[in-house]
Each structure stands twice: as structure tokens, then as C-alpha cells.
Amino acid sequence: MKNLFLFIFVLLLSFICLGCTNENHVATLKEPTETVIELEKVYMEMREIAWASLSDTDKETVMGNWKDAKVTEEQLSVNDEVQPDNNPMKVMKVIFNTSRDRFLGPIGIYINPNTNKIISRDVRM
């Protein structure tokens, strides 16, 4: 009889511990959502900086809403080789698709996310 009570006690204790674990898991699920929202704010800021740098002529050729421009994180490279130091510079690239993409390619603007300054642009031929 004592063994039965001990077994039930251990079983109930296990369920209580699992319940606490699930509660903590739910709390950690909220964190990535906040991170995604913060990341989208950074992306929108990069779009605004890139958009402000375009000439009126380039703005007229942008297809779609500029607020939907693609933003990617890139590593600074020279001749397609990552810099040899241990911490290569990470930059944000904003890509605007234009009506002239077929002839010149899209507009690509590289921005330093730490200083919010434009570092470079893709060559359009």
C-alpha cells in the first residue's frame, strides 16, 4: 500500500514538473515574435534610408511599393571574397526592383546598420 502511495506521489510530482516546463516554454515563444517585430523595424529603417538616397528618376522606375523592398543581411566583401579578419563587417542590402531591371538590373544599396550610412551600391550596366 505504501508503494502505491509512493508511486502516485511520484507520478503527480512528475506532472507538476512537466506543467512548469510547459509554462516556461510558452513564455519563450513570445520572445521570437518580439525579435521579428524589432527586425522588421530595422528593415523598414534601412528601406527609408535607401529610398531617400534615390534620385527622382530612379524613384519613378521602382516597381511596386518601396516599403516592400527586399532587405537582406550581407557580409562586406571585395571581389566576392569575405574580408580575412575574424569579424567581417555585416551590412544590410536593400533591393528595389525597377522597370529597367531587364536592361540594368535592380537597384541594390548597401547600408551600415550601425551608422545608418550608405556604403556602396550595386553596379547597374
Q: How far apart are CA 50 and CA 116, in angstroms?
A: 10
* Range with lowest mean pLDDT among 16-20, 48-52, 71-75, 120-124: 16-20
What pLDDT is attached to residue 78? 58
* Cell numbers linked to 65: 511599393
Domain count, the chain: 1
* pTM, to two decimals: 0.67
Question: Sorting pLDDT into bands at 50, 70 and 90, what band is 80?
Answer: low
Q: CA separation (Å) from 86 to 75, 82, 92, 120?
A: 12, 10, 19, 22
Q: How far apart are CA 41 and CA 32, in angstroms?
A: 14
Q: How far apart are CA 107 and CA 69, in angstroms?
A: 10
Residue 114 belongs to what domain range?
Answer: 2-121
